[in-house]
Amino acid sequence: MKYFFTAASVLLLFAACAGGWTEEDKENYIRGCHSTAGGMFASTEQTEKYCRCNLDSVMKYYPTIPEVTVNKDSVAVRRALEDCSVQARR
């Protein structure tokens, strides 16, 4: 759960963007996720799997970046990110 808040704070960097997720936004999110979640997993492959799942989950719930900052504490998103963590360890 601690990593969700870290990942959400990374998204604050993108709050100025009014549109949807650009490729640059996605890449920046993945980079930020890797830097915050790297120690959480045994391998870089697991970290990558987690971060991709994390991004997909956040994008599913929040089609625009500003929505993330408003709704970052959503229970549904927290559960989705916890599922990502479990999936990455498989």
Q: Please, what's the largest Cα pairwise distance for the chain? A: 36
Give the residue, 50 or 2, on which the prediction is more confident: 50
Structural domains in the chain, sorted by start: 2-88 (1.20.120)
With tokens 């790297």, the residue in question is 38
Q: Between the CA of residue 52 and those of 8, 16, 66, what are the distances in Å?
A: 14, 23, 20
Give me the pLDDT at residue 38, please.
78
Question: Each residue of 31-62: pLDDT tens digit?
Answer: 999 999 978 999 999 999 999 999 999 999 88
Give me the pLDDT at residue 67, please.
85
Give me the pLDDT at residue 3, please.
54
Alpha carbon distance 42, 39 (integer Å): 7
User: pTM for this one?
Assistant: 0.73
What percentage of the chain carries pLDDT values higher than 90? 46
